Amino acid sequence: MSVSILFYIPNLIGYTRIIFMFLAYYYAEKSPYMFFVFYAFSQAFDMLDGLAARAFNQATKFGAMLDMVTDRCSTIGLLLVISNRYPKLTLYSHFFIWLDIFSHWTHMLAQLSSGAASHKIIKSGPKLLSFYYSAKWFMVLLIIGAEGFPCCLYLLSYNTIHPMIKKVCTNLNYGLFPLFLTKHFINLIQFGCAAISLDHNEKKAQ
């Protein structure tokens, strides 16, 4: 890999996301508003790296890996923060962490072993999984639910937040919770399909 790839614009955006995430973690127990702002910035930048990769013709496998690992680590960090704020939710948080890691890593390995140009190109499998990766609006909607629900839970864990923000977060979570569950249901489907595909690809290669 050429060293210059490390400094491609999409990858620089990825590094910025990581910095924002660590700033968010720094403020997790100090300021709920600062945590939310930095976390939101990190997620917003997630939409920019793909646009930059296409605009500047700088799409790389390293960039795809960086994007996926950053996504997974930010989700893990958020769920760990939730388990700290809500000790009774620790087991649930760890379940979703394990599911998220297993499903995405297995899926990426399966796609790479099949020769797919991108882990987002689904040639076969359940329609729901194909729809998730082909319909951008649906993917974005579920990602908002997957990230927004725990973010609102986080803000609600503080008695010091403004009553209006508390009311908004409470009302939002009625709509975000089903999206959160749907996203992780797709993760479960993704893991099952990828696990089967890995063995199938290996047998074809032999």
CB 149 within 8 A of CB 173: yes
pLDDT, tens digit (0-9, with 9 covering 90-100), for 44-98: 998 888 888 889 888 888 888 899 899 999 999 999 999 999 999 999 999 999 9
1-9 mean pLDDT? 78
Give the Å distances, CA to CA, from 21 to 27, 123, 128, 174.
10, 33, 30, 26
Any residues with CB less than 8 A from the CB of 74 and at least 6 apart, and which?
17, 21, 39, 42, 43
pLDDT the model gives residue 123: 63
pLDDT the model gives residue 202: 53
pLDDT the model gives residue 71: 92
CB 117 within 8 A of CB 138: no
pLDDT the model gives residue 201: 55
CB 119 within 8 A of CB 64: yes
Any residues with CB less than 8 A from the CB of 42 and at least 6 apart, and which?
17, 18, 20, 21, 24, 74
Q: Which percentage of the chain shows pLDDT scores above 70?
A: 89
Residue 2 has pLDDT above 80, yes or no: no
Catalytic residues: 71
Tokens 């089903």 — which residue?
178
pLDDT the model gives residue 54: 87
Q: Is 147 exposed, middle or buried (0-12, 13-18, 19+ CB in 10 A)?
A: buried
Domains of the chain: 1-100 (1.20.120.1760), 118-206 (no CATH)
